[in-house]
Amino acid sequence: MKEACGVFGVFAPGRGVAQLTFDGLYALQHRGQESAGMAVSDGEAITVVKDMGLVTTVFDERTIACLPGHIAIGHTRYSTTGSSEWRNAQPVYRSVGRVGFALGHNGNLTNTPALAELHGMLPGVVATDSDLVAELLALAHPAASADASPLDIPDPADRDGGPLGGGLLELALRQVLPLVQGAFSFVVLDGHHLMGIRDPNGFRPLCLGRLGPTDAPEGWVLASESPALDVIGASFVRELEPGELMVIDEKGPRSEQIFPAERLETHLCIFEFVYFARPDSRLYGREIHGARRRMGELLAEQRPVEADMVMGVPDSGVPAAEGYARASGIPYGQGLVKNRYIGRTFITPDQGARTALIRRKLNPLRDNIAGKRLVVVDDSIVRGTTTRALVEMLRDAGASEVHMRVSSPPFQWPCFYGIDTPTREELLAARMSREEIEEYLGTDSLEYLTLEHLVEAIDAPGAGFCNACLTGDYPAPVPVSFRQAAPA
Ligand code: AMP
């Protein structure tokens, strides 16, 4: 069960936090279209609304109006084959005696079965890795101890206890987090606090924003990507550090590094830069669009070709195509129109259905490409299904040559840290040589950006990346089931 998701959190007394969360999630919709949800706390009760579908399907004005409170977290979940179920929607909620908490997770844990077994849970009791963390937090929560009556109203001292003043939930987090391995950016709330945590490798992004002016903040926001701050008028403050636990309440944000130095090693997912994040997001202090444009420029240097027009595959290939055109001097043009009401087509179970979806999603501009030698830029080739159908479509529409340029290296290894990918057998570059790929795709030439150029384009000196999908070099343990299946 892999999920790449969008998470959001807000602490803002006096503001409609449900509306802010809706707006934030809407800006993070690209990170997950399977389900959406939010948990809102008014200090007394936590209300969770979640369902399958897009943010706008799950929420409308009436639902939002019924969610008063001053703290909220939200989640958009990415579609994965076979696990498209209501029970996997987030945030997950648990109550412990009279207190409750909710959690939203972006990433994928790699030791879920081992942890579940360790805690005596029967297979199937927890639905997902995120559910497991919620269960472990509930077990570790001091309010769950034998001498805490379920009717006890938590003592204010408990409420604000803990080194960061995050109360009992903070204590539970400090116990559970060191046990979990893999990728996690969590947003968590209880009746009084909003918390955010990034795993010690920083696989998935998480940033902090502020509502209101610096000298008189009106609230605080956590989000997977910075555009979720922009849309609600919050200012970007900073990215959370890998391993950082942040507690936010009326006293503002406080945070601490909670992992030992030997577990801290930054490996932000390089695919966030290639494909996953929005172009207007900022990671490592850089706007993603600029990095993608430079990827295209370096690609042009790496493999020039004589052609009449450079075009990008909408939407993700467009910034790199702009860069390729700029560096090569070949005019940039549009060759495809995308139906903007269609989401991402990648995770559709069978090949036939995917090809049909691509035709529904992209249509060629015949007059603009007929007779032309095209350089076609896309961000990545995973299974090759889309690309193959696309090349055929462009040729049918009259392109005289199709030169494929990919702004990332060959995708050869499955991701275990939060991006849903097919098995190794289904990854085009894992099962075919370069020549075979060219022939399969039907291109006149094909070039992938090298890893060195990709890192150069991102231009974040000293920054650490996870590039396991490109190199097979997994920075955190991978699930046992994969290790057994993988060739030695
Ligand atoms: P394909 O040729 O079938 O491998 O599809 C390649 C297309 O899928 C490219 O246009 C990518 O932008 C897109 N893509 C790459 N990774 C993902 C992902 N994790 N989820 C959805 N789409 C993706």
And the tokens for 307?
A: 């052609």
Decide whether any atom of ligand 1 lies within 6 Å of the 236 Cβ.
no
Decide whether any atom of ligand 1 lies within 6 Å of the 406 Cβ.
no
pLDDT tens digits along 24-50: 999 999 999 889 999 999 999 999 999
Decide whether any atom of ligand 1 lies within 6 Å of the 381 Cβ.
yes
Q: What CATH code is assigned to 289-459?
A: 3.40.50.2020
pLDDT tens digits along 130-141: 999 999 999 988
Decide whether any atom of ligand 1 lies within 6 Å of the 380 Cβ.
yes
| Domain edges within the chain | 6-266, 289-459
pLDDT tens digits along 344-392: 544 454 566 667 778 888 999 999 999 999 999 999 999 998 899 999 9
d(CA 113, CA 463): 32
Biggest alpha carbon–alpha carbon distance for the chain: 80
**Among 76, 275, 446, which residue has the most ligand 1 atoms within 8 Å of its CB, making it the best to mutate?**
275
Q: Does residue 471 carry a pLDDT above 90?
A: yes
d(CA 327, CA 94): 54
Decide whether any atom of ligand 1 lies within 6 Å of the 79 Cβ.
no
Going by their DSSP bridges, the two strands 252-257 and 35-41 should be labelled as unpaired
* pLDDT interval class at 487 (50, 70, 90): very low
pLDDT given at position 119: 82
d(CA 385, CA 379): 14
How many Å lie between the centroid of ligand 1 and the Cα of residue 31?
A: 13
How many Å lie between the centroid of ligand 1 and the Cα of residue 200?
A: 28
How many Å lie between the centroid of ligand 1 and the Cα of residue 313?
A: 11
Would you call 460 helix, strand, or coil by DSSP?
coil
How many Å lie between the centroid of ligand 1 and the Cα of residue 386?
A: 7
Nearest CA to ligand 1 atom 23: 346
* pLDDT interval class at 234 (50, 70, 90): very high
Q: Which residue has the tokens 């963390």?
A: 133
CA 297 from centre of chain: 26
pLDDT given at position 412: 96
Decide whether any atom of ligand 1 lies within 6 Å of the 383 Cβ.
yes
**Among 80, 382, 416, which residue has the most ligand 1 atoms within 8 Å of its CB, making it the best to mutate?**
382
Task: Check: CB of residue 205 under 8 Å from CB of residue 283.
Answer: yes
Going by their DSSP bridges, the two strands 194-198 and 244-249 should be labelled as antiparallel
d(CA 48, CA 39): 4
Contacts with 436 (C-beta within 8 Å, 6 or more apart), sequence order: none
**66 is annotated as an active-site residue:** no
CA distances from 127 to 123, 402, 416 (A): 9, 45, 17
The atom number, within ligand 1, closest to the CA of 78 reads 20
Q: Which residues of 338-359 are buried (b: 16+ CB within 10 A; e: fewer)?
A: eeeeeebbbbbeeeeebbebbe
Average confidence (pLDDT) over 389-396: 95
* pLDDT interval class at 99 (50, 70, 90): confident
**pTM recorded for the entire structure:** 0.93
Same fold, 6-266 and 289-459: no
The CATH fold of domain 6-266? Glutamine Phosphoribosylpyrophosphate, subunit 1, domain 1 (3.60.20)
CA distances from 436 to 373, 375, 382, 423 (A): 22, 20, 15, 19
